[in-house]
Amino acid sequence: MPLDAVGVAMLGAGNVGAGVIAALRAGHERYAVHIGRPLLLRRVLVRDTARARDGVEASVLTSHFEDILADPAIEVVIELMGGEHPAREYIEAVLASGRHVVTANKEVMAKHGAALLAVAAAHNVRLLYEAAVGGGIPIISPLSRDLLANDVTAVTAIINGTTNYMLTGMSQTGTDYAVALAEAQRLGYAEPDPTADVEGTDASYKLAILCGLAFHVAISPDDVAKQGITRLAARDFKYADALGYTIKLLATGRLVDGGVVASVQPTLIAKDEPLAKVDGVLNAIQIEGDLVGRVQFQGRGAGPAPTASAVLADVLDVARDIVAGRRPAEAVEHRKLPIHPPGMHRSRYYMRVTVQDQPGVLAAIAGILGGQAISIASVLQVETDDDARTAELVITTHHATGAARDAALAEIRALDVVVEVGNVLAMAG
């Protein structure tokens, strides 16, 4: 190894890891110019060292994590294993050994980021995680540096490509959830077990990271109110379209009444809003600050190439620091702000309710909503194509708390004339 090379190790060599390795090879000379020294991949941790990896010599592969800690020439470790364990423990051990870490692990950073960043600070090294939220979309660095002068008050994002692809298909072709999921799985956008995506878990990890950076607070994924997309039906998109909206799985964090409101939920967005036009597997993140106003970052949020782009940007950043002998900047201190429970969240709502088609039904529902201080903005009544003499009411409301909404829905469901409360969705704005 050249004496002046920056030694790099990787934990994991799956699809993203293969993308990083390929990019390291293709950009070797260019990266050396950017850094002032070449990068050299010294170790790759894998389960099966007998299986060949393109661009990696067999002698570089290891199945023992201790081999990485034992090599003093390794200065930067890239963690691409995924999952919470043992990735969290490995990241902590690497940081404690005085090495820098670059990770794409959203789950670890969402659940343990504050603690791991403290370990990094204690050992005078850096933990970088640009790829953990938006894939190839730069957002961690802008929040950490470019927007630091702003008092950020809101983060609104579409940050799961699988669900965005599915919802785009449901909106544009009128298909139901099951059809949209099958198509996403056929194309490889959705996993065989899509639970983490369709129930909002993946997006909640990313939102927790974004809120922590944007608002300088410690927030757990468990603090994020979640609602998945599995109950959405084709007619929800038809009704939303008639009202001038589309439906997206929206991740939202806001500063409200001295605390943080954070949620991931399918949301009606007006068609003329920029986020309503983010379709397919694209992701987008809006930031609202007191100085910059509203800015939006958009691009491919997942996949080997975009994620490799973000990973290597972090590697080049920390490698330049190593070559220049720069010390890591001090971390921004977290504020102590309350995380508001879901019942305190305020929103406008879309409600789809199947009822007996008879006089007085709408008045009864309106009376219940009024009793919870929820005012109706609009009502659309659609007769159903059956012999049961039922109708579907599509009601939109003005702003109300989640607690008032839930109390009203409990009363509405108890009415003899109500057949089903089909869906209740938040409305942006």
Q: Which residues are annotated as catalytic?
A: 206
Is the bond into 86 cis (omega within 30 degrees of 0)?
Answer: yes
Long-range contacts of 81-86 (CB under 8 A, 24+ apart): 81/11, 81/12, 81/45, 81/105, 82/12, 82/14, 82/107, 83/107, 84/108, 84/111
Contact 131, 141 (CB under 8 A): no
Calpha distance 39→6 (Å, rounded): 5
Calpha distance 38→1 (Å, rounded): 10
**Integer angstrom CA distances of residue 394 from 245, 339, 382, 423:** 13, 32, 8, 10
Calpha distance 239→307 (Å, rounded): 36
- How many CA atoms are closer than 13 Å to the CA of 324, on its beta-carbon side? 11
Q: Residue 392's closest CA among 368, 423, 363?
A: 423
**Integer angstrom CA distances of residue 101 from 83, 88, 122:** 16, 11, 14
Backbone phi and psi for residue 322, each to the nearest 5 degrees, phi listed first: -60, -45
| CA 423-426-429 angle, 5° bins | 150
Compute how many other C-beta atoms are within 10 angstroms of the C-beta atom of residue 138.
Answer: 17
**Strand (E) or helix (H) holding 183:** helix 177-186
> Chain-centre distance of CA 159, in angstroms?
4
Q: Residues 338, 343, 346, 352: is their CA dihedral positive or negative?
A: positive
Calpha distance 115→327 (Å, rounded): 20
- Give Cβ neighbours of residue 292 (< 8 Å, ≥ 6 apart): 147, 150
